[in-house]
Amino acid sequence: MSVFSLIVNPVSGKGSAGRRAARVAALLEAGGHTCKVVETRGPGDARRLAEDLLDSSDVLVALGGDGTLREIIEGTDASRPVGIIPSGTANVVARDLGIPRDLERAVEILLRGRVLALDLGRANGRPFLGMVGVGYDAEVVRALARRRRGPIRMTSYLAPALQVLARPPRIPLRVRVDGRELPDPVFGVVVANTRNYGGLFAVVPFARPDDGLLGWQAQRRAGRLGILCYACCALFGRRASPRLAAYGPARRLEISADPPAAVQVDGDPAGTTPLEVEIEPGQARILAPEGREDIGEE
């Protein structure tokens, strides 16, 4: 029998995280396993709890969103498999891996799933599993963080998105991809390790979490019309036309701007440029469903 440590973000899942955690613990214990339940209280707590629980746990489990998962991965240093009970707003990693929100099915993956070795991104040294954004999406994330008071829903992004759309950022970005500078102009960049973005979109449709590469989109048009075009293409999982955006794979990107531009990492504010993004292949160990032939086994 195994010891599971469930690290819970209590404000995730529209405030239902506590009830979901109790149900997960009951399901695991009914199968004869031990389950410890601990809650985070703020940014960085999930990483610290993961470090503290590492030696006494067989499996660490993230019950929260992509930010909670990211912190736990950082705390384990790839030395333990990490399970996911998706309870956040977007859950981009869980969506890419096919991990459902249904608790019984998600717990079944904890017990009988396979361990995948996924790529880990680094943004100025900060780990990420999903994506990094510079430009419009980062400004939206920053605006949401300023007004956030407790749990967030998809609809929580609407007011910040419209607020930023009314006065969209027009800061020119300087972007180097594997040492090669992209031609001007660039007004926004999304760097993706997963196909899913924000739960609804695929900004970089070809991105994979296990290919040792990052996918990127460089936005060539500023202003409201350009942003709406990018959003429509991402909603349908299509690339924007070459005159609107450039795409490609990379192992390393460097992004700078004058004045500095906002940065988001996995949906959380992450300061401003300059930014260095790179990939560490196979450095995250995640429990995923059996039968995923499109994502390689460890």
Percent of the chain residues topping a pLDDT of 90 = 82
Q: What would the DSSP string read from start to end of 263-295?
A: EEETTEEEEES-EEEEEEEEEEEEEE-TT-TTS
Mean pLDDT of 244-261: 98
Looking at residue 17, its pLDDT comes to 87
pLDDT greater than 90 at residue 75 = yes
Range list for CATH 2.60.200.40 in the chain: 126-281
- pLDDT tens, 124-152? 999 999 999 999 999 999 999 888 766 66
Where does residue 294 rank: exposed (0-12), middle (13-18), buried (19+ CB within 10 A)?
exposed
Contact criterion met (CB below 8 Å) for 60 and 83? yes
Domain 126-281: top CATH class: mainly beta
Percent of the chain residues topping a pLDDT of 70 = 96
Mean pLDDT of 9-24: 87
pLDDT greater than 50 at residue 51 = yes
Looking at residue 125, its pLDDT comes to 94
What distance in Å separates the CA atoms of residue 109 and residue 89, rounded to the nearest whole number? 20
What distance in Å separates the CA atoms of residue 206 and residue 96, rounded to the nearest whole number? 12
pLDDT greater than 50 at residue 184 = yes
pLDDT greater than 50 at residue 93 = yes
Closest CA to 194 of 125, 251, 128: 128
Closest CA to 209 of 281, 125, 126: 281
- pLDDT tens, 209-235? 999 999 999 999 999 999 999 999 999
pLDDT greater than 90 at residue 60 = yes
pLDDT greater than 60 at residue 109 = yes
Of the candidate ranges 23-37, 82-96, 100-114, 280-294, the one whose mean pLDDT is the lowest: 280-294
Q: 3-state DSSP helix/strand/coil percent for the chain, to nearest 5?
A: 30, 30, 35
Please determine, looking at this structure, whether the domain spanning 3-113 carries the CATH number 3.30.70.3270: no
Highest-pLDDT range among 1-15, 136-150, 163-177: 163-177
| Tokens coding 173 | 């970005």
Looking at residue 297, its pLDDT comes to 44
Sign of CA dihedral 252, 284, 151, 49: negative
Looking at residue 150, its pLDDT comes to 66
Looking at residue 294, its pLDDT comes to 57
pTM of the predicted model, to two decimals?
0.90
Q: Give the contacts of 55 (CB within 8 A, at least 6 positions apart).
A: none
pLDDT greater than 90 at residue 156 = no
pLDDT greater than 60 at residue 293 = no
Range list for CATH 3.40.50.10330 in the chain: 3-113
Whole-number mean pLDDT of the chain? 92
Looking at residue 290, its pLDDT comes to 79
CA neighbours closer than 13 Å in the CB half-sphere of residue 93: 36
Looking at residue 298, its pLDDT comes to 41
